[in-house]
Amino acid sequence: MSAPRLEIDLDKLHHNARTLVERLGARGITVTGVTKATMGSPGIAYTLFSAGVNMLGDSRIENIETMRRAGAAATLSLIRSPMLSQVERVARYADISFNSELEVMHRLSLAAQKERRRHGVVVMVELGDLREGIMPGDLQQSVRELLQMPNLVLKGIGANLACRSGVTPDDRNMAELSALADAIEAKFALRLEIVSGGNSANLAWALGCRDVGRVNNLRLGEALLLGCEPLHRQPIAGLHTDAITLVAEVIESKCKPSQPWGELGQTAFGQRVAPVTDRGLISQAILAIGEQDTDPRGLQAPAGIEVLGASSDHLVVDTGQCRQPVGSEIRFQPNYSAMVRAMTSPFVEKVMVERGERRCEKRADAR
C-alpha cells in the first residue's frame, strides 16, 4: 500500500455512530452526521447513514455535491451560511441550509424558485460563542420576514457553541434556545421540526442534563470520527478513538545529535526552535509527510516514538530504542486538526477498511 495514507475503519466508525445515535435517541435527540472533515466522502457518509444518523451535514457545498452525485439517500444540509455567490448550487443540491442573513435567504428563495424546489432553512441563533447566528432579540423579526419568502420552508432553529470562544453548552444557554423555539411557535402558530442544540461539544450536556427541553438534534463530526469530545478532548466511554489512523513512511533513518549546531534563525514555518536539552546521539527518522499534509503537533505517535519537528514535507521523529529502517511505516493517531488536513491533502491516500461482519449483521437485521 502506498504512503502516506489515512486508514479509515468503517466498522469502528459505524459502531461510534450507532452508539451515539442510540444514547441520544433515548433522550429524544436525533443525530446529523457532519461530513466536512472527510470532504464529503461517500463511503463515510454511507456508513454514518446506515448507522442511523437522520441527516448529513456539511459546511461546504462542494462536499454536498459529492455526496449527492454518489446517490446519498439522506437529507443533506449545508451547516454554514451559504455564500451569495453559491446560492444557486445550494438550492440545487442541498435540502436544507443553516442561515443567519436575510439577504442570503432572499437570494436562496429566488434560486429555489428557479430550481422549482422548496428549500429548508434552519435559522441560527447567537448564544454567546460569537460565531454565527442572529442575536436573540432580532430572531422574531427575522423569522417574520423569512416566512414571507415563498420558496423557503422554516425547518427549525439552531445554535453553535464552543467553536470560536469555547463557550460551554449548559442548562442556561440551552434553556434559552428552548424558550426561543417556544416563543416562535407561539408567535407564528407553527411547529419547528428541528431544534438543533450544537456540535460534539454538546454531548456531555445532552447526555447528562436533567431535561433536554426542546433540543431534539445535535450535529456530530468529531465525536463520531475520533470518539472524543472537543471541550476537554477526552475519549467518550464505549467509543473507538482509533477509527482513523495516519500512516507515514520512513525515508531517512540515522543516528544524529539531538541538538542542532550553527547560528539559529527562523525555521521554514517562521518559528524559532525552543532550545533542546542535549540528549547526546538519538535515533532520528524522517517520514515523508509534513505541514502541507497534516498538523504535526496533532499527531500521537506510538509508544517509544516522539515527534520532534516538521517542515512542509518532512516529519522528524526520535525513534528511541528501536531504529526504524528506511521503508518502514509508523502509525499515528491524528487529532481533529491533523485529521482534517490529512483528509484534505491530495498526497494522502484514503483507504477504507471494512471487515465484512457488519454486512452480515445488516443482512440479519433485514430478515
Applying CB under 6 A, the residues found at the interface with ligand PLP are 34, 36, 59, 79-80, 160, 199-200, 219-223, 230
Q: Please identify, using beta-carbon distances, which residue of 87 and 124 lies nearer to ligand PLP.
A: 124
Q: Going by C-beta distance under 8 Å and a sequence separation of 6 or more, which residues neighbour residue 97?
A: 77, 78, 79, 81, 82, 90, 108, 119, 120, 121, 122
Q: Please identify, using beta-carbon distances, which residue of 9 and 132 lies nearer to ligand PLP.
A: 132
Query: In the complex, what is the shortest distance from the CB of residue 96 to ligand PLP, in angstroms, rounded to a whole number?
Result: 12
Query: In the complex, what is the shortest distance from the CB of residue 6 to ligand PLP, in angstroms, rounded to a whole number?
Result: 17
Query: In the complex, what is the shortest distance from the CB of residue 55 to ligand PLP, in angstroms, rounded to a whole number?
Result: 12
Buried b (16+ CB within 10 A) or exposed e, 33-50: bbbbbbbbbbebbbbbbb
- Do residues 212 and 232 touch, judged by C-beta distance below 8 A? no
Whether residue 36 lies in the annotated active site: yes
d(CA 309, CA 320): 15
d(CA 291, CA 305): 19
d(CA 109, CA 152): 6
Instruction: Bin 101: left if φ > 0, else alpha if -120 < ψ < 50, else beta.
Output: beta
Tell me which residue has its CB nearest to ligand PLP.
221
Amino acid symbol at 89: R
Q: Please identify, using beta-carbon distances, which residue of 160 and 253 lies nearer to ligand PLP.
A: 160
Q: Tell me how far apart the terminal alpha carbons of the chain are, to the nearest angstrom.
A: 37
Query: In the complex, what is the shortest distance from the CB of residue 184 to ligand PLP, in angstroms, rounded to a whole number?
Result: 20
Q: Please identify, using beta-carbon distances, which residue of 225 and 286 lies nearer to ligand PLP.
A: 225
Q: Please identify, using beta-carbon distances, which residue of 79 and 299 lies nearer to ligand PLP.
A: 79
Determine which one of 36, 254, 350, 362 is catalytic: 36
Query: In the complex, what is the shortest distance from the CB of residue 36 to ligand PLP, in angstroms, rounded to a whole number?
Result: 6
Question: What CA dihedral angle connects 301, 307, 310 and 316, to 10 degrees?
Answer: -100
Catalytic sites, residue numbers: 36
